[in-house]
Amino acid sequence: MKKSVLTRYRVMAYVTGVLLVLLTLGVIAKYGLHLDGADKFTTFVGIAHGWLYVVYLVFAFDLGSKAKWPVGKQLWVLLAGTIPTAAFFVERKVTHELEARVADEAPVAAKA
């Protein structure tokens, strides 16, 4: 597995996680605190999160298929983008697990 596969997943996990936290705060501001402007903010962040979550799904599925994960683990990683802050914890665990595998597969320079 290439390091770029893991990097793409990590970037999208952070982006999706941040947008989901912002969306959660926006929904609290909109419905709980009835703040002005929260409606537009929630709409904008919700649309951005929705589209970027699809990109996250593609990259997470690609990572899981190349890492040969079982279906249960793959589903947990895919769903992590829908639970506020879960993407951060799952990303850290996945990265810690796969960094050793990516480092082991790094090409070695041939000696002349």
Structure tokens at 37: 């402007």
For the chain, the distance separating the N- and C-terminal CA atoms, rounded to the nearest angstrom, is 27
Predicted pLDDT of residue 109: 61
* Residue pair 1/52 in contact by the 8 Å Cβ criterion: no
How far apart CA 60 and CA 52 sit, in angstroms, is: 12
Angle ∠(57,59,62) on CA atoms, nearest 5: 105
Predicted confidence (pLDDT) at residue 48 exceeds the cutoff of 90: yes
Average confidence (pLDDT) over 90-99: 91
Q: Where are the beta strands (DSSP E) in the chain?
A: none
pLDDT band at 75 (very low <50, low <70, confident <90, very high): very high
